[in-house]
Chains A and B, each alone.
Chain A
Amino acid sequence: MSYNISSDLASLPIEMLVAKPLESAVKAQAIAAYTTIQFIQDVGLDEEGNLRTVEITFNRKRVDDNGEPRDEEVQMKVPLLTLVPIPYIRINKVNVDLSFKIRSITVDKTKKSLAVKGSAEGKWPSFSFSIEGSFSSKRSIKTTVDKSAEIDITVEALQDEMPEGMRTVLTMLTEAMLPPEEGGE
């Protein structure tokens, strides 16, 4: 029976090969979102959920009640979350390029041979002869099949906009960043 390329084609796991990269892209997106959540929790908050802050102390000139200029020490506790960019990486585009190649070479050889050997002898009126013959046929079918599959995935990711909820939280935290009274909280 000779080789049939269509059976190989039908057995290609196309469903799996198509679905897996797409599914992986969505999962990658979820992992990126989870990483952002972790970042907010680890960088922005301590174990108890208290805001991590950076304390900044500086002097500024103020005019006192007597109209004299004097240095005033100001301390600010700045929430870390308001200082660092929050990673909002999201997938913008994904290209999945699947290539399958099947190549088959079938060589069908038939070799036939015929051998005939004959002899005759006699003297009138008797006469005899003999013939010996052989016939052989050899057939060989050789099929070589090369199959290859390639997957090329291109992912384009970019920094997403800050969601409205985060923007609100940061605004709220920035407003709460008023300098405490002199000498501490």
Chain B
Amino acid sequence: MPTVSTIEFDKFIASILDSIVKAEERLIQAYVDGLNQLFFEEEGDSLKPRTIKISYRRFIVSEEGDLTPIPEEVVVPLISLVPYRPLSIDDVEIRAGYNIAYVEKGDSTKIIGLPGKKMRRDESIDIDIVIRLKRDEEGVGYGAILNMLSNLSSGGGESE
């Protein structure tokens, strides 16, 4: 029965950090998956932006001075209507508390006169991992796509 710690703390902490790095990869992947599912749809080998079409009537004043309704239609990319912010790991805190207590009673070296020995070992480890996520800025590419798609929004409609 070992009376000292057998825990390899360096390896253990490294494994936690490794898990966090992998978790961050999954975090990014989940964000990209969400982005694709929410705002794009597959069209052949490429992705086409999802849009909503809004039909409404605009009123113009005719030459006779009357208000004339003109049907209008605007196709708006969803990405420009709904915010979808990325989250990233802000900081990580790892706390580990380790305790070991070893008590031995009796003596095993003598045979006569002593009934034997009793050893008790209490070992405990408490690990606390705190991960804080914060809202991050969208990537530069996101802004570029957003601007490009916003410019593509088609307005205007047929006049009656």
A contact set with B: CB distance below 8 Å? 2, 4-6, 9-10, 14-15, 18-19, 21-23, 25-27, 29-30, 33-34, 36-37, 40-41, 44-45, 48-51, 77, 79, 88, 90-114, 135, 137-138, 141, 160-161, 163-166, 168-169, 172-173, 175-176, 178-181, 185
A37-B115 contact, Cβ under 8 Å, with A104-B123, A105-B121: no
Of A15, A40, A112, A163, the residue contacting B114 (CB under 8 A) is A112
Q: Decide if B84 touches A96 in the complex (CB within 8 Å).
A: no
List 11 additional contacts besides A90-B85, A164-B150; criterion CB under 8 Å: A2-B1, A15-B23, A23-B27, A30-B33, A30-B38, A94-B87, A96-B133, A102-B125, A104-B122, A168-B150, A178-B58
Least Cβ–Cβ distance between B158 and chain A, in angstroms? 15
Least Cβ–Cβ distance between A23 and chain B, in angstroms? 5
User: Bound state CA distance, A27 and B7, in angstroms?
Assistant: 36
Q: Decide if A164 touches B123 in the complex (CB within 8 Å).
A: no
Chain B residues whose C-beta falls within 8 Å of the C-beta of A99 in the assembled complex:
126-129
Answer yes or no: B47 CB below 8 A from chain A CBs. Answer: no
User: Interface code B21-37, partner A: CB below 8 Å = 1, 0 otherwise?
Assistant: 01110110011011001
Least Cβ–Cβ distance between B23 and chain A, in angstroms? 4
User: Bound state CA distance, A98 and B150, in angstroms?
Assistant: 42
Q: Decide if B83 touches A45 in the complex (CB within 8 Å).
A: no
> Which residue of B has the minimal Cβ distance to A40?
B81
Chain B residues whose C-beta falls within 8 Å of the C-beta of A44 in the assembled complex:
54
A178-B59 contact, Cβ under 8 Å, with A14-B19, A108-B1, A163-B80: yes
Q: Decide if A135 touches B111 in the complex (CB within 8 Å).
A: yes
Which of A4, A18, A95, A109: most chain B Cβ within 10 A?
A18
Interface size on B, residues (CB 8 A): 79
Q: Decide if B1 touches A33 in the complex (CB within 8 Å).
A: no
Chain A residues whose C-beta falls within 8 Å of the C-beta of B89 in the assembled complex:
22
A49-B1 contact, Cβ under 8 Å, with A104-B123, A106-B120: no
- Interface secondary structure of A, over-half rule: mixed
Q: Decide if A30 touches B116 in the complex (CB within 8 Å).
A: no
Chain B residues whose C-beta falls within 8 Å of the C-beta of A109 in the assembled complex:
116-119
User: Bound state CA distance, A100 and B129, in angstroms?
Assistant: 9
Chain A residues whose C-beta falls within 8 Å of the C-beta of B140 in the assembled complex:
none
User: Bound state CA distance, A29 and B66, in angstroms?
Assistant: 48
> Which residue of A has the minimal Cβ distance to B57?
A176
B contact set with A: CB distance below 8 Å? 1-2, 6-8, 12, 15-16, 18-20, 22-24, 26-27, 30-31, 33-34, 37-38, 52-59, 66-67, 69, 72, 74, 76-87, 89-90, 106, 108, 111-112, 114-135, 146, 150, 153, 155
> Which residue of B has the minimal Cβ distance to A162?
B83
Of A93, A100, A110, A181, the residue contacting B127 (CB under 8 A) is A100
A26-B34 contact, Cβ under 8 Å, with A88-B82, A165-B150, A169-B81: yes
Of A2, A36, A91, A168, the residue contacting B87 (CB under 8 A) is A91
Chain A residues whose C-beta falls within 8 Å of the C-beta of B53 in the assembled complex:
49
Subset of 18 A-B contacts with CB under 8 Å: A5-B6, A18-B19, A18-B20, A19-B22, A29-B85, A30-B38, A49-B52, A90-B85, A92-B135, A93-B132, A96-B129, A96-B133, A97-B129, A100-B126, A104-B123, A160-B83, A165-B76, A169-B54
